[in-house]
């Protein structure tokens, strides 16, 4: 589980660092939000 959240953190970082937003990014946004929430819950 910790490994999965670590991978999610990397994915989140890549999404944040990527300049601009494409249509694909907007469709992936709900998953992005879920990853952020899951990552924060894992830190508790």
Residue ranges of domains in the chain: 2-43
pLDDT recorded at residue 27: 72
pLDDT for 1-44, tens place per residue? Answer: 566 776 676 666 666 655 565 656 667 778 888 889 999 999 88
Looking at residue 29, what is its pLDDT? 78
**Contact assessment for residue 8 and residue 38, using Cβ atoms and an 8 Å cutoff:** yes
Q: What is the DSSP string of the chain?
A: -HHHHHHHHHHHHHHHHS-S--HHHHHTHHHHHHHHHHHHHHH-
């Amino acid at each position: 589980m910790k490994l999965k959240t670590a991978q999610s953190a990397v994915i989140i970082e890549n999404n944040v660092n990527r300049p601009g937003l494409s249509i694909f990014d907007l469709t992936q946004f709900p998953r992005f939000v879920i990853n952020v929430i899951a990552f924060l819950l894992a830190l508790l």
